[in-house]
């Protein structure tokens, strides 16, 4: 799975969420989405660590 495939839904959701409240902290929502995607694609903890490290 490419980085773009993960980023596209996140960006769209952030945009919609921020339009309703521009001062909103979307980090908890992003984290929840990330974990749902990891589960959906059966990403292992080791793979998750790689992805999380790339996002920092």
Q: Tell me what pLDDT residue 23 has.
A: 75
Q: How confident is the model at residue 48 (pLDDT cuts 50, 70, 90)?
A: very high
- The yes-or-no verdict on residue 47 having pLDDT over 70 is yes
For residue 39, the model assigns a pLDDT of 93
- CA nearest neighbour of 5 among 37, 43, 50: 37
Q: Round to whole Å and give the CA distance between 27 and 19.
A: 15
The structure's pTM equals 0.56
Q: What is the pLDDT of residues 6-41, one digit of tens each?
A: 566 777 776 776 677 777 787 888 888 889 999 999
- Provide the residue range defining the domain that includes 36: 3-54
Number of structural domains the chain divides into = 1
């Amino acid at each position: 799975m490419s980085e773009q495939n993960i980023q596209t839904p996140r960006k769209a959701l952030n945009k919609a969420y921020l339009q309703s409240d521009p001062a909103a902290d979307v980090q908890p929502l992003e984290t929840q989405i990330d974990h749902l995607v990891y589960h959906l694609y059966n990403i292992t903890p080791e793979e998750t660590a790689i992805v999380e490290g790339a996002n920092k």
